[in-house]
Amino acid sequence: MSPTSALAQGKPHTGGVQALYATQAEAEKAAKEHFHCTGAHRMGNQWMPCSKHTNQPKH
């Protein structure tokens, strides 16, 4: 299971940076602090950092 899917299911993650947030404001804050982008976008009923999904760094 990927860390993102674990977060989506409410299970605790073990390191890394959270990628799903309950509010747009939390996702925008993470975008600046951890993802080096701006904005946020919806992912279902949650929010992800960066204005577009493709802006996120590839690992």
What are the boundaries of each domain within the chain? 3-8+20-55
Q: Is 35 helix (H, G, I), strand (E, B) or coil?
A: helix
Radius of gyration of the chain (CA): 11
* Token pair for 25: 């404001």
Per-residue pLDDT for the chain (59 aa), expressed as one digit of tens each?
444 444 444 455 556 889 999 999 999 999 999 999 999 999 999 999 999 987 445 54
pTM of structure: 0.65
